[in-house]
Structure 1
């Protein structure tokens, strides 16, 4: 069931073709560094060119002056200083890491964080942009921004009606949540429900940033189910429909859906979402190793919770071929999940079961695509034998369980 989707606005954005607004070049730079591998934050290092060339005295003087303006200047002077910091980091491409570190050491982060709570819209926007540029590729600055108190005002900015400010705040949460020490603080701040609101009503850019930020926060395993509610399912399914199933974005979206499938409300939402189960089945067929693992995990969670409720819904969307392929090509975890789900799907009323000839044909087609015509018969035979063996083991376990449950705890003497 191969599907071909038109290139949507989301796809165009993900491919970098979408026109950017006045602030989005900063957001794009942060996405490029934080979204794809958000957990791989960069350690502050100096390049060879930085270590061999002396620090520009004029630049050092400029940084000290900017810090002084932010600390003691009027509001307009502070706004201008924040804008200059953004420009300074962006212009210093060959020594940007050193520039960020020097600015932080000069004490610019605390006054910039204080500006986030200003009643002046320009002050909020300019400080957000400056902090974003200071945070990117710098683990220490990310942590310092959060410990300086940036999270509460950022949460308030997520509530604003102004879409530009709201989405800049989303980009900031995304960037800061890439640092491991920041995750518990952001998770406890109340940001997650507001990010879910961005999923529903934000721009394409805002939605993608929100997914990535929520994915970063979901790595706190003990809090993952508390961060999301079932209202996130519909926008996540819609975004997953539109993106390439093998993309990094699809991996994050399916990871969040798998978390949501651990609650009854989440499972119900997935089953009633327009094309929800079909989209997961298509991800099993066309996804990357990571997204297929999450997609099959979500389907398995549904079926394990109530086979009678979800089995027919999954079978109806043609899940069998993709699951069979996954038993051969997926990760070890995905293979196990696919086999477990196949066992559950086969455990259906006799009139609903696949005939042996249909199942053999499906297995042979999958084997032919995997190993070619010459080895297809042998591979198909091995697959079928494995499925039969697992089915027998499952049946024997069920018989033993029933026998144990029926055995009296005390056998009376005769």
Structure 2
């Protein structure tokens, strides 16, 4: 039998020398054991992900996904090169199960963890994600879209994703994907548009029709409407984009409805699109905008919108009034009364509406006089040097 040569210096591990252990010490011991257990789990999964057995790698990836989905601590623990890099290496696999399991594992690691989002990108996942966005398998395309959405939520990743070649494929998802795929694509594109160098995002004109269709069908005050109108405003910066927006049946009407019923942000973006149309070609767009009854919503926006929305609405009203019509005048009176009733109540509505119209007419006259004075300013030649 083994005898301890120095029992005084090496205690028996089965004995309990302290019958009343310190609770804090016990807690530290439990914490240490949990830490060692977590490290062992990470090492085991890393070993299985690096193994040559394809089925074992798939099973390990699924285990990473399961643990990461259920625990924020697991998401942090597994975000190490020994786990992330083998998962990234599985993305271009010819085995659909390997691609899907790796993609889901990476997606769950990145959810609600900014550091992990950056780690996934730095580990080389983005080129593979772009390839998966163009996959012939719709489920893989939409999983890749969900992954792009998650990764694009990190500001440090937005420029990299915007310039990776992913945008055209996200627009294809926007055109032909499932409802969830379209929502994910819109949100991803919106995230990319908010990066510091937003000029790096160029939207294909093909995005106009699905964006307007989705805007037409959604609640105009929703967060989704804010994202859709923001992207439409980017499209309206080019002639091709403006043509795509105005050529769609009901496109201008959808924007007018958003001005009337949208949130502060979606109304600001919607009136920005209408203003861009009207500024680019007044003769082409004035009557189209007036025809859809834009005046009441614009007048309301001059009172209730953001500072930028009010400025845009006033400018657009000035452009529309340069070519007054009987319908526009009637719309102005109706809209002024409607706003007055909301602001001051029915009893004072008539007098308030009159004041609103008076202020608008006065502003219009001031602008007209300023333009006339500018055109009539005499030419003053430079003093001749003799």
| Length-normalised TM-score, structure 2 | 0.86
Q: Distance in 2 between matches of 1:225 and 1:327?
A: 32
Q: Which has the higher contact order (CA 8 A, sep 6+)?
A: 1
Superposed displacement of residue 386, structure 1: 2.7
Q: Distance in 1 between matches of 2:46 and 2:371?
A: 71
Superposed displacement of residue 392, structure 1: 2.2
* More divergent stretch after superposition (240-249 vs 217-226): 217-226
What's the counterpart of residue 387 of structure 1? 360
What's the counterpart of residue 277 of structure 1? 252
Q: Distance in 2 between matches of 1:85 and 1:163?
A: 24
Structure 1 residue 331 corresponds to structure 2 residue 306? yes
Superposed displacement of residue 63, structure 1: 2.2
Deviations 1:191-235 (A, max 9, x none): 001111111111111111000000000113644474202111001
What's the counterpart of residue 159 of structure 1? 134
What's the counterpart of residue 10 of structure 1? none
1:407 pairs with one of 366, 374, 379? 379
Q: Identify if the C-alpha distance between structure 1 residues 212 and 224 changes in structure 2 by more than 3 Å, giving closer, same or farther.
A: farther
Q: Identify if the C-alpha distance between structure 1 residues 181 and 358 changes in structure 2 by more than 3 Å, giving closer, same or farther.
A: closer
Q: Would you identify which runs of 4 or more consecutive aligned residues in structure 1 move more than 6 Å?
A: none
Q: Distance in 2 between matches of 1:339 and 1:142?
A: 43
Structure 1 residue 69 corresponds to structure 2 residue 48? yes
What's the counterpart of residue 121 of structure 1? 96
What's the counterpart of residue 214 of structure 1? 189
Q: Distance in 2 between matches of 1:355 and 1:212?
A: 37
Superposed displacement of residue 371, structure 1: 3.1
Contact 1:225 1:260 in 2 (8 A): no
Q: Distance in 1 between matches of 2:333 and 2:129?
A: 57
Q: Distance in 2 between matches of 1:81 and 1:401?
A: 75
Deviations 1:230-251 (A, max 9, x none): 1110010111111111111000
SS in 2 for 1:149: coil
Contact 1:363 1:383 in 2 (8 A): yes
Contact 2:175 2:210 in 1 (8 A): yes
Contact 1:346 1:353 in 2 (8 A): no
Contact 2:318 2:364 in 1 (8 A): yes
Contact 1:128 1:169 in 2 (8 A): yes
Q: Distance in 1 between matches of 2:240 and 2:200?
A: 11
Structure 1 residue 376 corresponds to structure 2 residue 355? no
Deviations 1:265-316 (A, max 9, x none): 1111111112100000000111111111110111011111111111110000
What's the counterpart of residue 321 of structure 2? 346
Structure 1 residue 109 corresponds to structure 2 residue 88? no
Deviations 1:346-371 (A, max 9, x none): 110x5x25575653333112221333
Structure 1 residue 80 corresponds to structure 2 residue 59? yes
Show structure 2 runs of 5+ residues with no match.
Answer: 1-27
What's the counterpart of residue 312 of structure 1? 287
SS in 1 for 2:283: helix
Contact 1:224 1:259 in 2 (8 A): no
RMSD: 2.3
Superposed displacement of residue 390, structure 1: 2.3
Q: Distance in 1 between matches of 2:270 and 2:202?
A: 20
| Length-normalised TM-score, structure 1 | 0.81
Q: Distance in 2 between matches of 1:274 and 1:356?
A: 26
What's the counterpart of residue 21 of structure 2? none
Superposed displacement of residue 334, structure 1: 0.9
